[in-house]
A and B are shown apart, each in its own frame.
Chain A
Amino acid sequence: MNAQQKWTAYYTILIREILRFSRIWIQTILPPVITTALYFIIFGNLIGPAIGEMHGFTYMEFIVPGLIMMAVITNSYANVVSSFYGSKFQGNIAEMLVSPVPNWIILAGFVSGGIARGMAVGAAVTMVSLIFSKLYIEHLFVMFTIGLLTSTLFSLAGLINGVYAKSFDDISIVPTFVLTPLTYLGGVFYSISMLPEIWQKISLLNPVLYMVNGFRYGVLGIADIPIWISYLIILGFIALLASFSMYLLNRGIGIRT
């Protein structure tokens, strides 16, 4: 395939992915928006005033970046894992496997689909947050790149889950038992400086912390951890997961007999 044909193949997968989650927007876009709005109402409006200020911001303002990031993470992951496993389950992954499209394009197409949904939901949640809070954007470039890279990372993670999944249970286990705890404990609702020292150190093992931290720095200009460490951790994980994803696709694990 020449470069133009590869672009066409990539574009086809991306458009297919975007159409897929757009067609079922009631299942894909709306729920995270409603859930996040509830977080804003309960934690921000009702409980927030009792908590007081955090790093000079109201509690509502403090949790906005974390909640946007949580929506981006869960939706990027969910899009790729459900789409990839769905393709395996229905057998239509074969449409790509029999074609000459290289594996790295398949990977790029699915991951871009995950990013598209992550960003779409992230944007929708951001719009909702404006109803409840002012949005400060201290470092637009940092905010955008951390959001994009985090979405990429969790799209890759979703694809790996999709490759190994053998049933619909398998695609919900990781989000329920790994992703949600890591996100909740990743500083969405609190600053790790509030934790005892031992828990601060344990929290540093949670990769989600670096993403929430980086995004919050982009929005509010405050960070528990230096921003360059956030970039380094996210890029490191992307390199690792992308390499592993390529290995799985090249070997045909979970998709070829």
Chain B
Amino acid sequence: MTAALAITNLRKTYDNGFTALKGINLSVQQGDFYALLGANGAGKSTTIGIISSLVNKTSGTVSIFGYDLDTQRELAKSQIGLVPQEFNFNVFEPVGEILINQGGYYGIERPIATERAERLLKQLGLWEKRKEQARTLSGGMKRRLMIARALVHEPRLLILDEPTAGVDIEIRRSMWEFLTDLNASGITIILTTHYLEEAESLCRNIGIIAQGQLIENTSMKSLLSRLDTETYVFDLVEPIQQIKEMGACHFELRDPTTLEVSYHKEDFSLNQIFAFLNQQGLQVLSMRNKTNRLEQLFLDLVEGNKA
């Protein structure tokens, strides 16, 4: 099957001499929900800029659903919907007009664009705002407007550059739900985000860019399986002053009722730890994972690449 996105040896050197991309090779399969992660300045936005024709590449090839961006530009561009990082609509235009105009740039006639705009604005909870200038929208509404705008021409590949930056948890969750449904309907999604929990929850595959190079390109499951250490925080029913050691398992009492447990997955299981706590007469009220696992891996990989 043709890849939704195929990038070969993509390089970008800016006029000031800074090399943002040092030969990236990447393939995203049709129907995938792909996370592209990287620290600020790693090259994510440059990559997205090149794919969406907002940045001129220095060398390399990009093809979208088999259409080469250099030689079949119009066809390639028709496949993509872009949700950029910054708000970039005309703030003085009415919300509905922004969507209808965007459809027009893709050659979609006004009556059809109007129907699609209505459907998308309703889905994203913006229908009541359709006649208002975009500048009157809240931050979360503006983010949703950009998603609606990117979908009006019904793209097969949706690229979202930090779509949930600055939105509250409730809206973020509803956007996740919306994106999951979109992906289930067959749209390939590429997502960049700084919320690693977001990538872990939504994406099946993941690429990590560091210093202009793709240092990781694998499935989320395979990446997370590399984590060999787990850390849990237990809330205890009764306060304690100290706890015995249990081999290589590390206990740390953060306060009399909060116990932090770190262990290597190949050495221990949670059952063994609970059995040990039972032996000590300790009852656990609740437990939670201490850190985002992907966050830890991400930091390890990026730091490793620097070294």
Contact = CB atoms under 8 A, between A and B. Distances in A.
B207 to A, nearest CB: 21
Contact of B107 (A86, A90, A100): A100
In this complex, the interface size class of chain A, counting residues with CB under 8 Å from chain B, is 20 to 34
A90 B90 contact: yes
A256 B55 contact: yes
Interface stretch (A8-16, A130-138, A202-210): A8-16
B255 interface: no
A172 interface: no
Interface in A46-98: 86-87, 90-92, 94-98
B115 to A, nearest CB: 15
Contacts of A102: 74
A251 to B, nearest CB: 8
B54 interface: yes
B87 A257 contact: no
Contact of B55 (A12, A23, A257): A257
Contacts of B100: 12
B54 A94 contact: yes
Contacts of A252: 56
Contacts of A6: 107
24 contacts: A1-B74, A4-B107, A5-B107, A8-B108, A8-B110, A9-B104, A11-B104, A12-B101, A13-B104, A16-B93, A23-B92, A87-B90, A91-B84, A94-B88, A98-B52, A99-B77, A99-B105, A99-B153, A100-B75, A100-B77, A102-B74, A256-B54, A256-B56, A257-B14
A92 B89 contact: yes
B268 interface: no
B75 A95 contact: no
B160 interface: no
B107 A1 contact: yes
B172 to A, nearest CB: 23
